[in-house]
Amino acid sequence: MNSTHVQAHERFAIRQKMTLRTKEYVVTAVRPDGSEGEVVAFAHQKRLTLSEQMTFYTDESKKHVLCTFEARETLDPEAGYDVRDAVGQPIGSFGNEALASLLRSTWTMRQPGTINLTGRERNRVVAGVRRIWEWLPFTDFVPFLWPYHFDFTEGDKRLMAVDKKFGLRDRYVLDILAPDLDRRLAIAQAVALDALEER
């Protein structure tokens, strides 16, 4: 599996694997009939590390790296994250907009020279309820089950969407509407929505 093959797809399914020591996500291409197809990426991150970083492999064997993301500043997540290919060359970047995220989670994603997207939670009401939920006692052990979604836009044009599916386990569908958007950057951002915000 290589990055050229990944670039050929427009829809991906992302599901988190339940592990104690690591955060892991399996990314599959979605077939035209809506079913999950082949694995195109496997994300792996050690828990409880000072540095926010994640490695994406081409499959669950973890033999070949697809890409990585890493925080620019260890103790300052607002500084953003850089996404690099298997040999360390930059692909793009993303970051959380802390002030805007007080009311509705907001991210920016940049692919140098081509794409500059802003991603926001689609539903303001769900965003508000989720924030109230996070402040309630004992909810650390009870997941927020209601689905929430992100739209990534450039101006008024939606170029990417991440939809959470209803259920106890974290499952998402990533749709890419921009032909020139690097799928590795899009997958890294989609996984980060869950992994970095502890959804």
Tens digits of residue pLDDT in 109-167? 999 989 999 999 886 655 555 555 565 565 455 555 556 789 999 999 999 999 988 76
What is the per-residue pLDDT across 106-122, written as a single tens digit (0 to 9) for each?
999 999 989 999 999 88
Are 26 and 40 in contact, with CB atoms under 8 Å apart?
no
How far apart are the C-alpha atoms of 189 and 146, rounded to whole Å? 21
Q: pLDDT at position 20, please?
A: 73
Going from the C-alpha of 194 to that of each of 4, 116, 155, the distances in angstroms are 25, 21, 25
Scan for tokens 């620019």, then name that residue. 72
Average pLDDT, the chain: 84
Q: pLDDT at position 17, please?
A: 87
Q: What is the pTM of this model?
A: 0.85
How far apart are the C-alpha atoms of 65 and 59, rounded to whole Å? 9
Going from the C-alpha of 54 to that of each of 36, 46, 80, 167, 168, the distances in angstroms are 23, 8, 14, 25, 23
Q: How many CB atoms lie within 10 A of CB 114?
A: 11
Q: pLDDT at position 66, please?
A: 97
How far apart are the C-alpha atoms of 98 and 30, rounded to whole Å? 32
Quickly state the pLDDT bin for 75 (edges 50, 70, 90).
Answer: low
Are 85 and 71 in contact, with CB atoms under 8 Å apart?
no
Q: pLDDT at position 122, please?
A: 83
How far apart are the C-alpha atoms of 9 and 165, rounded to whole Å? 20
Model confidence at 95: pLDDT above 80 = yes
Mean pLDDT of 33-38: 91
Q: pLDDT at position 54, please?
A: 93
Of 7, 1, 5, 4, give the one whose Cα is nearest residue 179: 7
Sign for the pseudo-dihedral over CA of 74, 23, 199, 33? positive
Q: pLDDT at position 148, please?
A: 72
